[in-house]
């Protein structure tokens, strides 16, 4: 039987690797898309390439979109990454690491790739639990995007593809994500989460991403295979 194609957005992080593993376990043939939007370090992209290989994707497109030309985010500008915050602080407001319209840009490009390769299904690893401050990680946003996508495209309008955004992790805790990934055989040693790694790519252990990741592994009762500077 021929496998149905799906596009999966791979960031190099733990969540998108798990979303890819879920899509694969559901029988899809994966087209991975990684957007280099001017991140401050290259370790995320290297992780995305490792994950794509491990997932045996049919094709991995790495596309540069230099959002740093717009300014406006800690992940692309020289603003300090916050450290050692507790979860109430992380969720109190939209984080400084928010990138304007990021998921909309990512999903639009995923949609363009999906229409080109004939994939109706788009997978992404967004999560509304750990990132409750990000407007573009919420189910109502994803629904609005799907509706728009089916009006935006030749395939959607002609009815040959009915685009669907899959966000399987959206209401899972980090521990639940990690447990599911472990069962599916995800090698989390290939992934990268830290916002502020050292020059060798080792995770800082103190930014929001590291804190959430470590807590997730602890709660899942599993060991995090990556190296931390402290």
Distance in angstroms (rounded) separating the CA atoms of residues 13 and 55? 14
Q: Where does 5-62 have alpha helices with state H? A: 14-25, 43-54
> Which is nearer to a copy of itself, 60 or 179 (by Cβ)?
60
Backbone φ and ψ for 166, nearest 5 degrees, come out as -105, 125
Binding to a copy of itself (CB under 8 A) within 78-117 occurs at 94, 98-105, 107-109, 111-113, 115-117
Closest CA to 125 of 181, 203, 190, 46: 181
State in angstroms the smallest separation of the CB of 23 from a copy of itself. Answer: 19
Q: Does residue 208 touch a copy of itself according to CB under 8 A? A: no
Token pair belonging to 112? 């363009």
> Which is nearer to a copy of itself, 147 or 227 (by Cβ)?
147
Q: Pseudo-torsion of CA 128, 149, 25, 140, nearest 10°?
A: 20
Contact partners, residue 183, CB within 8 Å, separation at least 6: none
Cβ-based burial of 44 (10 A; exposed 0-12, middle 13-18, buried ≥19): buried
Stretch that binds a copy of itself, among 40-48, 141-149, 185-193, 200-208 (CB under 8 A): 141-149
Q: Does residue 156 touch a copy of itself according to CB under 8 A? A: yes
State in angstroms the smallest separation of the CB of 152 from a copy of itself. Answer: 5
Closest CA to 174 of 209, 138, 134, 139: 209
> Which is nearer to a copy of itself, 105 or 222 (by Cβ)?
105
State in angstroms the smallest separation of the CB of 156 from a copy of itself. Answer: 7
Binding to a copy of itself (CB under 8 A) within 49-78 occurs at 61, 63-67, 69-72
Q: Does residue 136 touch a copy of itself according to CB under 8 A? A: yes
Name which position in 1, 78, 86, 154 contacts a copy of itself (CB under 8 A). 154
> Which is nearer to a copy of itself, 25 or 65 (by Cβ)?
65
Name which position in 92, 157, 160, 225 contacts a copy of itself (CB under 8 A). 157
| Sheet (strand 59-64) strand order | 59-64, 29-36, 5-9, 121-123, 164-166
Q: Which DSSP helix (H) or strand (E) runs through 34?
A: strand 29-36
State in angstroms the smallest separation of the CB of 92 from a copy of itself. Answer: 13
Binding site for a copy of itself (CB under 8 A): 61, 63-67, 69-72, 94, 98-105, 107-109, 111-113, 115-117, 135-136, 138, 140-141, 144-145, 147-149, 151-158
């Amino acid at each position: 039987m021929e496998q149905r194609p799906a596009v999966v957005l791979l960031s190099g992080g733990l969540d998108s690797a798990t979303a890819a593993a879920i899509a694969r376990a559901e029988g899809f043939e994966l087209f991975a898309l990684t957007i280099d939007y001017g991140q401050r370090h290259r370790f995320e992209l290297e992780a995305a390439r490792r994950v794509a290989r491990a997932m045996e994707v049919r094709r991995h497109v790495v596309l540069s979109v230099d959002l740093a030309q717009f300014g406006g985010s800690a992940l692309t500008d020289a603003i300090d990454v916050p450290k050692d915050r507790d979860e109430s602080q992380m969720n109190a407001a939209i984080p400084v690491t928010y990138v304007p319209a990021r998921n909309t840009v990512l999903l639009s490009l995923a949609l363009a790739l999906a229409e080109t390769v004939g994939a109706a299904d788009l997978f992404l690893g967004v999560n509304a639990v750990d990132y409750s401050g990000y407007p573009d990680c919420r189910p109502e946003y994803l629904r609005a995007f799907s509706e728009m996508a089916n009006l935006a495209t030749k395939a959607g309008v002609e009815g040959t593809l009915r685009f669907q955004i899959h966000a399987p992790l959206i209401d899972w805790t980090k521990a639940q994500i990690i447990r599911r990934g472990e069962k599916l055989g995800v090698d989390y040693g290939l992934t990268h989460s830290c916002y502020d790694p050292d020059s060798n790519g080792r995770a800082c252990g103190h930014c929001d991403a590291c804190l959430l990741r470590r807590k997730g592994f602890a709660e899942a009762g599993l060991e995090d295979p990556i190296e931390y500077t402290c």
